[in-house]
Amino acid sequence: VYVDDIIVVSSDDAAVDKLLDKLRSDFALKDLGSLHYFLGIKVSTLSSGLLLTQCKYAQELILKASLKDCKATPTPLSVSEKLALNIGEPLDADSMTRYRSIVGSLQYLTLTRLDLAFAVNKVCQYLKCPTTAHLSAVKRILRYVSGTIDFGLKIVPSSSTMISAFSDADWAGCSDDRKSTGGFAVFFCANLV
């Protein structure tokens, strides 16, 4: 069995040591110490817990989209503009490929940037036939990311094991097919998972 990377996390150091000793008895193991960076996610230790960010990944995505010196925007989507299938001109083949690549990269960014989830989901709905209006929406998301580059996901310790879930939906909110859009958030203690 070949395992490239593994992260071991526990509130009990003795349990971690015991697990690592057991793994060492069966596998060649290299302990790299405290976690700092994993799969493009930077892990910063704070006095109150951990902060997971993707600053470097986000900066590379902004460069990839040629928006290095763009003006930041305060929200990822405009409240007044509604996206729909037939708004804007269809993109050419190269622009369509670029659109899909950037949107896919934005999906990975939502691992630590949950504030982007709704907006990214919205532009994902137009991957089949994106238009100039959809590309403008993607650029707006990137401009928002540019202004909030240091945002991330904070994980704090807790003695509680309570799980809470919240959900919301609109009723037939999509102008294309009259389908509803729903969303949910699940918390383990105070941590959004």
What pLDDT was estimated at residue 3? 61
What pLDDT was estimated at residue 2? 53
**pTM score of the predicted model:** 0.85
Ramachandran area for residue 16 (φ above 0: left; ψ -120 to 50: alpha; else beta): alpha
Question: Block means of pLDDT (10 residues each) for the chain, length 193 residues?
Answer: 74 91 88 87 92 96 95 93 91 97 97 94 94 97 97 92 92 79 88 89
Q: Give the C-alpha separation, 22 to 130, whole Å.
A: 52
Q: Give the C-alpha separation, 55 to 60, whole Å.
A: 9
Asked whether the beta carbons of 56 and 40 are under 8 A apart, the reply is: yes
What pLDDT was estimated at residue 1? 45
Residue type, 68: K
Q: Give the C-alpha separation, 135 to 137, whole Å.
A: 5
Of 189, 80, 191, 56, nearest in space to 140 by CA? 80
Of 11, 55, 56, 39, nearest in space to 155 by CA? 11
Of 157, 138, 158, nearest in space to 146 by CA? 138
Of 41, 30, 116, nearest in space to 73 by CA? 116
Residue type, 110: T
